Structure formats: structure tokens, C-alpha cells
Amino acid sequence: MSWLTKTLTSSIGKKLLMALTGLFLCTFLVVHLIGNLQLFKNDGGYAFNNYAVFMTTFPVIKIVSYVNYALILFHAFWGLYITYKNRQARPIGYAVVKNSSSVFSRNMAILGTILLVYLVVHMSDFWYRYHNEALPYVQYTEQISTGNVETTLMETGYTQEAKKVESFNEEAGTKTIIVKDLYSVVSFSFQNILLVLFYVLSMFAVAFHLFHGFQSAFQTLGWSHPKYTPLIKGIGIWIFAVLIPVGYAAMPLYFYFLK
């Protein structure tokens, strides 16, 4: 066995892969949230729909997103495999167990499995439909001098080759864009209370997974220090287990209650 295989298949190496992929996914959560905050703009989806085109066509982002999908799958199945192996280390259990560890830390695989189910639903709700289904189109006419945008929904059945077609009218000083209207799809999907509930509850799983997971990844990397560990724990709790899940949960709630 090469030194690298030996290292990465040791108990510590296996965990190193969990920590590195987990932290990569944490950065993804931050970027994805910031991008999606454009859903809250009251502009008929102008910013968001343009952003969706950019994210699915710009080559560098496309590569990063496929790496991201691969790492989610790797993290999920590697984590479940480690959990399965760890269970084999205690073939006969105890009659009585009084736990002295946090309930989240003990149930990372269950929380992760909820996340995996969520991700499948989420990807088929929006990603799959955006790429493969006949979506409605919307037309935005922007007055370049003032920045005023006029929104017109295209009639049902309208379709075009590209996700986005841009044209200019020099005389009128306007820019016209016709894009796939993912914004309406999101807005419409979140009129379903069951889907809204599912999304919001899944964000609890994110919160609990990262409540333990974020600081745990640093411990796995060996980054434990009296100066910095409290900061890492603070970021893990307040940013990754509170702010980010709340931000995500706010989206379905916003469309259900306010749109």
C-alpha cells in the first residue's frame, strides 16, 4: 500500500476525509445562501433568474458545482460506511447506557441521512426541473439610463434554445432579456405547505449536523488551541447552526406567507 492509501484508510485518515469534505460543504452552504438571498429582492426575479443562468453556464462555476455534487455523495457514503464500521467495534451492546455526549454528536449519520433525502428532493425540485423541463419564461425590459425594470411573463408554451437571450434597443435605450423563470417555479413550489414544512424541518437537520460537525472537523484536523477553539465553536454554533439554517428556512417561509 502506498503511504497515502495507508494514511487515508487509517481511522484518523478516514476522518480527515470527512472533515475536509465537510468543511468544503460548509463553504458551499455560505456561497449558496448568499446567492439565494436574491430571492428576497422585490424585482420579479430579475436578479435571481440572471444569477441562475450565470451559475449554470459559467464554466468555472459549472466545474465547481459538479465537484460539489461529487463531494456531497462522497461525504455521505463515506460517513455512512464509517458509521457502519464503528458499530462493528461493539458487537454486543449494553443493557443500560447513560450518555455523557451530546445527542447530535451521536446521531450524525441519521442527521446526514435526513440531509441526503432533503438534497435529493431539493435537487429534483429545482435543479432537475431547471435543466430538463419546459419552464415558463419571463421577459425583463430594463431602461438602461434609470435602471427601471419592467417584467412581462411570457405566455405558456413559449420556449427558446438558450436559457437567456439578451437584446438591445439603442433608440429606446433599453435592454431586453428573456430568461427561464426559475423564480416563479420557486415561488409556486413554496405555496405547498407540506413542502415548506419539509424544507424548514430539514434545516433543523442542517443546524444539528453542523452544531457538532463544524467544530468537530477542526478537532479532526488537530486544530485545538485555547486561543482559537472558542472562536471556532462560536462560529460553528452562531453562524453554521443558527444564522445559515435560519437564512435558508426563511426562503420557503417568505414565499408561503408573503408572496
Residues of this chain that bind other proteins (CB under 8 A) = 2-3, 6-7, 10-16, 82, 85-102, 105-106, 108, 212, 216, 219-224
Q: Any idea which residue has 450518555 for its cell?
A: 99
Q: In the structure grid, which three cell numbers stand for residue 81, read together?
A: 460506511
| DSSP E strand boundaries for 72-171 | 137-143, 149-153, 164-169
- Give bridge partners of residue 138 from the DSSP assignment: 153, 179
Please tell me the distance from the alpha carbon of residue 119 to that of residue 77, in angstroms, as a whole number. Answer: 14
Q: Shortest Cβ distance from residue 18 to ligand HEM (Å)?
A: 4
Residue in the block written with cell 465547481:
64
Partner from other proteins, ligand HEM, none binding residue 23, C-beta < 5-8 Å depending on class: ligand HEM
Binding mask 192-211 for ligand HEM (x = CB under 6 A): -----------------x--
Closest residue by Cα to residue 39 from 147, 205, 188: 188
Distance, CA of 177 to chain centre: 27
Q: Which is nearer to ligand HEM, 140 or 218 (CB)?
A: 218
Binding status of residue 249 toward ligand HEM by CB under 6 A = no
Question: Which element (helix H / strand E) includes 180?
Answer: strand 174-180
Stretch that binds ligand HEM, among 24-32, 48-56, 92-100, 222-230 (CB under 6 A): 24-32
C-beta of 138: minimal distance to ligand HEM in Å? 30
Helices (H), ranges, 123-192 = 129-132, 182-189
The answer to whether 83 contacts ligand HEM (rule: CB under 6 A) is yes
Residues 6+ apart with CB under 8 A from 43: 149, 151
Q: Whose Cβ is closer to ligand HEM: residue 174's or residue 216's?
A: 216
> Of 52, 71, 108, 186, which lies in the binding site for ligand HEM, with binding defined by CB under 6 A?
108
Q: Which does 93 bind (CB under 5 to 8 A by kind): ligand HEM, other proteins, none?
A: other proteins
- Among positions 47, 53, 71, 76, the unique one binding ligand HEM when judged by CB under 6 A: 76
